[in-house]
C-alpha cells in the first residue's frame, strides 16, 4: 500500500527488498510498526524497497502462508532467505540485524 519515493543516492547494489508487514487492524502496535519500518527503510534502503501491508482482519486466509503467529510481523521476502521480525520494530538496531542490514555485533 505504500511505495517509497525513489532517491538517487543508492549505496547498495540494485536489489529490491520485498517487505511484508502483517497487522491486525489499526492497533497502536501496528501503526508504530509501520512508522518505524518506513523510517528505517528510508534511511537504509531508500529506493530499493517495497512494503506491502497485509491486514489479517481483512484477509485472514493469508496468515498461514507466511506462518504468521505474532502481530505485528515483518517478513523479508526478498532478498532470500526469508527473515521474520516480530514486534513493533521499535528497536532499530535489532530490526537492522534482523533484516541483515547490519552485522550482529
Partner 1 sequence: MTPAKRKRQQVKLLPKSPTGIPGMDEITGGGLPKGRPTLLAGGAGCGKTLFAMEFLVNGALQYDEPGVFVAFEENAEELAQNVASLGFDLKELIKQKKLIIDYVRIERSEIEETGEYDLEGLFIRLGYAIDSIGAKRVTLDTIEVLFAALPNQAILRAELHRLFRWLKDKGVTAIVTAERGDGTMTRFGLEEYVADCVILLDHRVTDQTSTRRLRIVKYRGTLHGTNEYPFLIGKDGISVLPITSLSLDHKVPSGRVSTGVKELDDMLGGKGFYLGSSILISGTAGTGKTSLATAFVDAACQRGERCLYFAFEESASQILRNMRSISIDLEPHAKKGLLQFHVARPTLYGLEMHLVTMYDLIKEHKPDIVVLDPITDFFAVGSKAEVKATVTRIIDFLKTNQITALFTSFTSEEDAPDQSVVGISSLIDAWISLRNLESNGERQRGLFILKSRGMAHSNQIRSFHLTDDGIKIGAIDLAGRRTQLNQP
Q: Which residues bind partner 1 (CB under 8 A)?
A: 22, 24, 29, 32-33, 56-57, 60-61, 63-64, 67-73, 81-91, 94-95, 97-98
Please say which residue, 47 or 84, places its beta carbon nearer to partner 1: 84
Please say which residue, 14 or 104, places its beta carbon nearer to partner 1: 104
Question: How is residue 23 written as a grid cell?
Answer: 497487522
Torsion-angle region of 21 (φ positive above 0: left; ψ -120 to 50: alpha; else: beta): beta
Residues 6+ apart with CB under 8 A from 64: none
Please say which residue, 12 or 35, places its beta carbon nearer to partner 1: 35
Amino acid at each position: 500500500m505504500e511505495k517509497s519515493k525513489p532517491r538517487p543516492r543508492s549505496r547498495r547494489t540494485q536489489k529490491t527488498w520485498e517487505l511484508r508487514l502483517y497487522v491486525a487492524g489499526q492497533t497502536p502496535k501496528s501503526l508504530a510498526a509501520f512508522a518505524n519500518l518506513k523510517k528505517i527503510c528510508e534511511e537504509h534502503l531508500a529506493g530499493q524497497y517495497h512494503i506491502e501491508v497485509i491486514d489479517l482482519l481483512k484477509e485472514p486466509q493469508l496468515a498461514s502462508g507466511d506462518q504468521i503467529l505474532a502481530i505485528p510481523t515483518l517478513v523479508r521476502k526478498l532478498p532470500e532467505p526469508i527473515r521474520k521480525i516480530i514486534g513493533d520494530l521499535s528497536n532499530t538496531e535489532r530490526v537492522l540485524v534482523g533484516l541483515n542490514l547490519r552485522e550482529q555485533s
